Chain A
């Protein structure tokens, strides 16, 4: 591809709405047919008397039942796969702390397509083979690591799998390797900047940074602007989820006005989370995605639980792939904090292990100096001591066990019995005061 082209895949990126829809229908019909190799989908279609050949238009998509995270758990580990395991070469999985983990399988073709999608995103924001890409996100099961690794390599960049953490080394790499682009969660970017300041490193003077890919945790437009100012870069929003491979599902273009969801890869629906009926463009609803070119594990009408809205279906950048707003929250009670997915039930489970604690607790999320934090307040069942040291020890032990469970350390605050709000019999568990949701 010519470096001057704004598009890595012009044959897909610049399709008109009509052409996109035509391609989507072809791919949907092929996907549905292929899904009949999946024991789960075969049974589901048969149970409602739906046949693949009944899908004659894109509107017919709505005849297909939704797929949920629970379906993935119920069929754990391989029950949804549409190919035999011997054709699969990769497995990613969620942590599964709230039940069975969700497993996503990939064939070699899936991995190739995934890399292509991520490469397209990175090319779109001006990265070229001359760039040096430092991937400062977790590897392993977290799809942000390998997803960006393969995508950046596919584009042809020198790619540094720096992974998350060890800020001093990250900064040294940036300086020594001439890193021009970084992928990280926004809170880690802020952390890196703090360390740069402590070390007397001026990112504008001492590094060649110019592009940042940020995602995996909610952040506001103000946070993005602050990151851009701090580092002297352009920061682009990335959206992905492990059920849809990982990163590469959607990305901002240079207009920075919503994320383009790649409609040659996915059919995007926004539905009312209660009625499950489609909502008009501009209204917030739950994002539902159907994969169009996945081999190992196609998913039909997958309910992501992420809330967003359609901003537009055209764009000055020349791409007609639908533009969605950054995620506006969740339609379930999952908390996304610093890139980690947490369900309140995980916290409850730990708190209930302490006989000293009562059953009422409150999780508060706040943004302090650009860092998102969690405070867990929990009522004391019995005052078992009047020694502050032992109360502090208890707090410390609660913190430690929570960290083992949710992978980050919340503030823990003991409160007297009867002081936390209880409303309508059902306790309020989560209060989100983070800037992004204000």
Chain B
């Protein structure tokens, strides 16, 4: 099961990130986890938050280049080797991971990633009896 993540297109320039963060802050949106990836010229700021649909509308109306992306979030135990275990199941299903980030949430590890085939990834996760996190978990 996928959850919604904000993907925000920003310029590699001072002041661009804070503009987005201020907007989210003013609207009382809680960031759960975020990661900024960049090329030479621009970056994509990826954000998991408590109210993705609301945040999306807000940013879009302010003229920000934003997309709601479908990502997978897996809950794993916070012990060595669990990430390798989880990802190997995805990889065995011949699914490519486009990007991934992780964080700790309520004592558990969370792996967030986007794949080139979410259906197949879903199936692998079900078969592997791994635990999805849903948007409800972050509210």
CB distance from A340 to the nearest CB of B (A): 24
Q: In the bound complex, what is the Cα–Cα distance between A113 and B118 (angstroms)?
A: 72
> Which B15-64 residues sit within 8 Å CB-CB of chain A?
16, 37, 39, 41-42, 44, 46, 63-64
Q: Which residues of A contact B8 (CB under 8 A)?
A: 383
Q: Which residues of A contact B69 (CB under 8 A)?
A: 386
Q: Which residues of A contact B114 (CB under 8 A)?
A: 386-387
> Which A359-415 residues sit within 8 Å CB-CB of chain B?
380, 382-389, 391-392, 413-415
Tell me if A417 counts as interface (CB < 8 A to partner B). yes
Tell me if A418 counts as interface (CB < 8 A to partner B). yes
B67 and A384 contacting across the interface, CB-CB below 8 Å: yes
Q: In the bound complex, what is the Cα–Cα distance between A386 and B8 (angstroms)?
A: 8
Q: In the bound complex, what is the Cα–Cα distance between A389 and B64 (angstroms)?
A: 21
Q: In the bound complex, what is the Cα–Cα distance between A392 and B69 (angstroms)?
A: 18
CB distance from B53 to the nearest CB of A (A): 16
Query: In chain B, what residue has the closest Cβ to A388?
Result: B39
Q: Decide yes or no: A414 and B67 within 8 Å by CB, A386-B7, A388-B37, A419-B11 being known contacts.
A: no
CB distance from B69 to the nearest CB of A (A): 5
Q: Which residues of A contact B5 (CB under 8 A)?
A: 386
Q: In the bound complex, what is the Cα–Cα distance between A418 and B8 (angstroms)?
A: 14
Q: Which residues of A contact B63 (CB under 8 A)?
A: 417-418
Instruction: From B8, B41, B63, name the one whose CB has the most chain A CB atoms within 10 angstroms.
Output: B41
Q: Which residues of A contact B7 (CB under 8 A)?
A: 383, 386
Q: In the bound complex, what is the Cα–Cα distance between A403 and B93 (angstroms)?
A: 41
A385 and B37 contacting across the interface, CB-CB below 8 Å: no
B9 and A416 contacting across the interface, CB-CB below 8 Å: yes
CB distance from B107 to the nearest CB of A (A): 29
Q: Which residues of B contact A415 (CB under 8 A)?
A: 11, 41-42
- Total contacts A to B, CB within 8 angstroms? 50
Tell me if B136 counts as interface (CB < 8 A to partner A). no
Query: B41 is contacted by which of A385, A414, A418 (Cβ under 8 Å)?
Result: A414
Q: Which residues of B contact A391 (CB under 8 A)?
A: 39, 42
Q: In the bound complex, what is the Cα–Cα distance between A380 and B66 (angstroms)?
A: 10
> Which B49-91 residues sit within 8 Å CB-CB of chain A?
63-67, 69
Q: Decide yes or no: A416 and B16 within 8 Å by CB, A380-B9, A383-B7 being known contacts.
A: yes
Q: Decide yes or no: A416 and B10 within 8 Å by CB, A383-B67, A386-B69 being known contacts.
A: yes
Q: Identify whether the interface residues of B are mostly helix, strand, loop, or mixed.
A: strand
A413 and B41 contacting across the interface, CB-CB below 8 Å: yes
Q: Which residues of A contact B65 (CB under 8 A)?
A: 380, 382-383, 416-417
Interface size on A, residues (CB 8 A): 18
CB distance from A427 to the nearest CB of B (A): 16
Q: In the bound complex, what is the Cα–Cα distance between A193 and B68 (angstroms)?
A: 51
Query: In chain A, what residue has the closest Cβ to B66?
Result: A383
B67 and A386 contacting across the interface, CB-CB below 8 Å: yes
Tell me if B127 counts as interface (CB < 8 A to partner A). no
CB distance from A210 to the nearest CB of B (A): 43
CB distance from B88 to the nearest CB of A (A): 23
Q: Which residues of B contact A387 (CB under 8 A)?
A: 98, 114
Query: In chain A, what residue has the closest Cβ to B69?
Result: A386
Q: Which residues of B contact A418 (CB under 8 A)?
A: 63-64
A388 and B11 contacting across the interface, CB-CB below 8 Å: no
CB-CB contacts of A43-78 with B at 8 A, as 1s and 0s? 000000000000000000000000000000000000
CB distance from B9 to the nearest CB of A (A): 5
- Residues of B near any A CB (own CB < 8 A): 5, 7-11, 16, 37, 39, 41-42, 44, 46, 63-67, 69, 98, 114
Q: A386-B5, A386-B44 are in contact. List 18 more A-B contacts (CB 8 A).
A: A380-B65, A382-B67, A383-B7, A383-B8, A383-B65, A386-B67, A389-B98, A391-B39, A413-B41, A414-B41, A414-B42, A415-B11, A416-B10, A416-B42, A416-B65, A417-B64, A417-B65, A418-B63
Closest 4 CB pairs of A and B: A386-B7, A383-B65, A383-B67, A383-B9
- Residues of A near any B CB (own CB < 8 A): 380, 382-389, 391-392, 413-419
Can you list 10 A-B pairs, Cβ within 8 angstroms, ordered by A?
A: A386-B46, A386-B67, A387-B98, A391-B42, A392-B39, A414-B42, A416-B9, A416-B11, A418-B64, A419-B11
